[in-house]
Structure 1
Amino acid sequence: MKITSLLTFLFSLFILNTGNAHNIWIETNNTGKAGKEHSVKIYLGGYGENERDSVSKWFSNTREVVLLLTKPDGTKENLTTKPSGNYLEALFTPAKDGCYTISVSHEVADVYGTAKIQYYATSQVKVGASVEGINNVITSTDMPVQLISTNPVVKKGVSLKVMYKGKNLDKSPVSVASPSGWVKGFETNAGTFTFDAIWPGVYVIEAYYTDKTEGSLNGKEYKLIRNISTYSFTVGR
């Protein structure tokens, strides 16, 4: 079996074993303008399958996600979200140039099988030419995915890094979901991986890590924590 096929197979097994194949991800224009209102949308479903669940059907307490805005200077602000069909939407107005990080850290209230599910989702909005705050994504959640490549474009390799609680995740499964519906599994090497961007548009990275920490949640015991982290960004032409 080819290595890429094996990775895809192992990735599929991982998804099946989580007991829930849904992810939370963020979609937003990755460029903004100071003084202009900016929209951020949160989805639950499967980006690669073009599956976006109606908010009224989001499971457990996922409708209670909190959207955090980290400004270029590192100050943070919770954004108010409103349901609209199959997404939650929040608005903010960048006050100055720099990189604004949007993030979600959400613990699912129910235990599934023997697992607790922990969702993370991030994206960034660049305003103007300043790169102040570009590294805030690293500290925005416990499991950040960081875009290493600057200004990613089609027909060039795009590199990213995955971390968990300050450490690079080695040999950890990730997947890349493209705007065309193409989904492919990869594995990190010392935290990083690279893929070739074939189509322009929004890509969603999904990273997975099983923390074998035991505990209890709302009166139910769990044997491990399924951490699922997404990062969305746009590939240009």
Structure 2
Amino acid sequence: MKKLVYSMLLSSIAVVSVNAHEIWLELDEKKNEAKLFFGHFDGKQTESGEKFARIKEGVSYPTELVKDVKRDDNSITYTLSKKSDIAVVRASEPRKARNSEIVEYRIAYNKAGRTSTEAIVDFDIVPIAKDSNSFKLLFKNEPVKKSKVTVISPTGWEKTFELDDKGEFTIHTPWIGKYLIQASFEDETKGEVDGKTFDKTIHSISHTIDVNQGLPWNTKK
């Protein structure tokens, strides 16, 4: 029976296995800390050494939440002053897009937790209610409508969910473990940062949530 349930869930939820690298946060509320990783979220494989050294610590939100930051060989640990959702924002220098003269300014948001129903960064995924599986995607507190988000489950499979005209969406979390929700948004407003002009800003977010009820999943081979 258990094998049948797994088979049915895999056929209905899984669509494509993920091969790309991701950067994500994992929140440990018992220790009041969050860890930033770089690697393959689907296989829980993290990069270290020179590859990870290129990842910046970023700026954390809410402000004054983080009281200490420690870098290890394959992670960055943010010690928190209290239990809270956390987001880390990292911006890159404006540069031309591949095969284009358009100059892009890229801002990456890494978030963990789903207790706060208020946005804590400019581009944010917030739950409709605390610990809910229904969310809304916001840019500067305005809903991003008719867009899409991608969810990677603990099993290593991904599924795309569409946002409605309120910028809201509901995901399925049948397995126990960590899920990664990803979304992006392009702001066509021109601007300047550190004396460098850009034609548009590409915002991307990776939001990790923990699910404690459901089917167990063992990633060990």
Q: Is the 8 A contact 1:24 1:120 kept in 2?
A: no
Are positions 1:122 and 2:97 aligned together?
no
Out of 189, 199, 202, the position equivalent to 2:178 is 202
Q: TM-score, normalised by structure 2?
A: 0.72
Letter in 2 for 1:122: K
Q: Is the 8 A contact 1:206 1:231 kept in 2?
A: yes
Letter in 1 for 2:95: V
Aligned to 2:155: 180
Q: Is the 8 A contact 1:162 1:191 kept in 2?
A: yes
Are positions 1:92 and 2:80 aligned together?
yes
Q: Is the 8 A contact 1:48 1:179 kept in 2?
A: yes
Distance 1:195 1:187 in 2: 10
Long gaps (5+) in structure 1: 1-7, 13-20, 71-75, 127-133, 153-157
The CA RMSD measured in Å over matched residues stands at: 2.9
Query: In structure 2, do the counterparts of structure 1 residues 59 and 39 end up closer, same or farther at CA, with 3 Å as the change threshold?
Result: closer
Deviation at 1:40, TM superposition (A): 1.1
Distance 1:235 1:77 in 2: 24
Aligned to 2:34: 40
Are positions 1:108 and 2:92 aligned together?
yes
Out of 39, 51, 58, the position equivalent to 1:57 is 51
Q: Is the 8 A contact 2:32 2:80 kept in 1?
A: yes
Aligned to 1:231: 207
Deviation at 1:141, TM superposition (A): 0.2
Deviation at 1:104, TM superposition (A): 1.2
Deviation at 1:108, TM superposition (A): 1.4
Aligned to 1:67: 60
Q: Is the 8 A contact 1:55 1:83 kept in 2?
A: no
Letter in 2 for 1:111: R
Q: Is the 8 A contact 1:111 1:220 kept in 2?
A: no
Distance 2:149 2:53 in 1: 23
Query: In structure 2, do the counterparts of structure 1 residues 225 and 48 end up closer, same or farther at CA, with 3 Å as the change threshold?
Result: farther
Q: Is the 8 A contact 1:100 1:124 kept in 2?
A: yes
Long gaps (5+) in structure 2: 1-14, 98-102, 214-221
Deviation at 1:69, TM superposition (A): 4.6
Post-superposition Cα deviations, 1:167-190, rounded to whole Å, max 9, x if no partner, equal 011112211011110111222112
Deviation at 1:52, TM superposition (A): 3.0
Aligned to 2:141: 166
Give the length in aligned residue pairs. 191
